[in-house]
Amino acid sequence: MSGLKVQADTLNALQSDYVQQATALWNSTLARANAGDAGAPSPTLADRRFSATDWASNPAAAYLAQVYLLNARTMMQMAEAVEGDAKTKARLRFAVQQWIDAASPSNCLALNPEALRKAVDTQGDSIAQGMRQLWHDVQQGHVSQTDESAFEVGRNVATTEGAVVFENELFQLLEYKPLTDKVFEKPMLFVPPCINKYYILDLQPENSLIRYSVEQGHRTFVVSWRNPDAQLADRGWDDYIEQGPLAAIAAVQAITGAATLDMLGFCVGGTILSTALAVLAARGEHPAASLTLLTTLLDFSDTGVLDIFVDEASVKLREMTLGHQAPGGPRLLKGQELATTFSFLRPNDLVWNYVVGNYLKGESPPPFDLLYWNSDATNLPGPMYCWYLRHTYLQDELKVPGRLTVCGEKIDLGAIQAPVYVYGSREDHIVPWTAAFKSLKLLSGPTRFVLGASGHIAGVINPPAKKKRSYWTGPASGKAAATSEEWLASATEHPGSWWTDWSSWLAKHAGKQVAAPKSYGSRTHKVIEPAPGRYVQQKA
């Protein structure tokens, strides 16, 4: 950082502009006071942290908010003006933004007129309630984003009817009850991310991608990853491939008798599933009738904001504290650490918003199924996490044919023989859609790329019945466009959910219609327990 600098003329221009704006702000405030308008409301600020009338009707608070916003803009302009390599500048911007968001006057009780008015109106009860909620969150180890007591897995989230038909030490395989008289010949297997619990795909009946799949006539199976404890702290990437998708694929084949099946991977689940299919391809096996990848990275050359956290030093530190090099042996990456990291990627929405509401105003956050899922953290074995960091985010080796050996096989994603549906979310800050688009160049089968509106989760969980958002489709194969920008320039926007487009595509690869099974599992794979199963109930 000591080598960073800003050109003198740029710095002078920023300073001059700041002085002019600060002077104009001060003069306008004095003019209002001298004209006897000090009690009149100030203009409402667009920033939602200061949009309440309490800020506009309090001249001191309004002035403070405007000065803060001016300072924030100037600091970010200075960060942008710093000369340095792209990664260093990104880290600097991120650090400055974190400091700016934390320093907002809205986060301080003495400077927040909304919180002060509520304290007066409630005779201090809002402050007392805020302190009780703060102590509760200290005890549970994270800021409450929703009323977690309002939800229970299996009662009002993850309620699609089904059963556990296979399990090993890393996952349970869920099979869901058909909702149609006939089902497609080829079964469907979902592989969700192991860094979260699977029920993001089954929150409520009206926004469940799992239930939607069943309603469309697919015999649906889902991997429910175990929340690892200390006994699994030494498991590596190979374990997650061999005992994860490879075991799940074999179990679905044994239960259904199908040689090939449709498969879907979401986020890291898509990376894991693609790796597993490359392993099978190296063994001469091609069990995928189709492959769907939702917000998935295979090419890690552009990882968005997460890139600022990854370099040789940071990965080496993880290997020495969590991996096989750790004193005393491998350890778990605690789920709450991951959850906190992701929350601070959007601190105003996922951290400070709740600090103000929960503690300064004493308001209980409302029930929200998605935020309940978000707080249901998942641990990861240290060696598995370290392998993933080094070979994907740091060294970007997954896309290079023959570079990596997984489960004893040199893998090549291009050897996967299956039609592929690739989905990206346009506002995704975790898997940039332009990075998801790069998967098309790595896969040899026919491909379809679809771009959805919104972000990493909200873009994916967008049921048709809600009639929200939109999606874009382009050429039949995204490979026809040299770049993602070229693809978008010729793409067509459609109102509503991408789910309907995916369903139409999937039906072409799912085989003929056959009678729906009358029971779960098979003679060799009997029901173990009802869905959602034990593994998803385990807390980090």
Contact status, residue 294 vs residue 423, Cβ threshold 8 Å: yes
State phi, psi for 48 to the nearest 5 degrees: -65, -20
What is the pairing mode between strands 261-266 and 288-294? parallel
- What is the Cα–Cα distance from 153 to 155, expressed in whole angstroms? 6
Calculate the alpha carbon distances from 444 to 101, 291, 441 in Å.
45, 12, 8
Sign of CA dihedral 84, 89, 91, 95: positive
Distance CA 346, CA 97 (A): 10
Question: Is 407 in the active site?
Answer: no
Task: Please tell me whether residue 175 adopts helix, strand or coil conformation.
Answer: strand
Torsion of CA 465, 467, 472, 474, to 10 degrees: 50
Closest to 196 (Cα-Cα) out of 136, 245, 267, 134:
267
CA distance 510 to 183: 9
Sign of CA dihedral 120, 122, 124, 126: negative
CA proximity to 310, closest of 389, 217, 373, 375: 389
Residue partners of 488: CB distance under 8 A and separation at least 6: 451, 472, 474
Tell which residue, 289, 504, 294, has the closest CA to residue 418.
Answer: 289
Taken in order 31, 32, 34, 35, is the CA torsion positive or negative?
A: positive
Q: Which of 194, 267, 386, 407 is catalytic?
A: 267
Chain-centroid distance of CA 313 in Å reads 25
Kindly state the tokens that stand for 113.
């007129």
Q: Which residues pair with 261 in a beta bridge?
A: 288
Neighbours of 364 (CB within 10 A): 14
Q: At what angle do helices 113-121 and 125-140 cross, to 10 degrees?
A: 110
Under 8 Å between Cβ of 237 and 243: no
Sole residue written with tokens 């340095």: 84
Quote the strand ranges of 330-467, DSSP E.
332-333, 380-381, 405-406, 409-410, 420-425, 447-452
Which sign, positive or negative, has the C-alpha torsion 285, 290, 293, 294?
negative
Query: In sequence order, what E strands does 194-304 have?
Result: 220-225, 261-266, 288-294
Angle at 504 between CA 219 and CA 431, to 5 degrees: 85
- For residue 80, the tally of other CB atoms under 10 A from its CB is 14
Which residues are catalytically annotated? Answer: 267
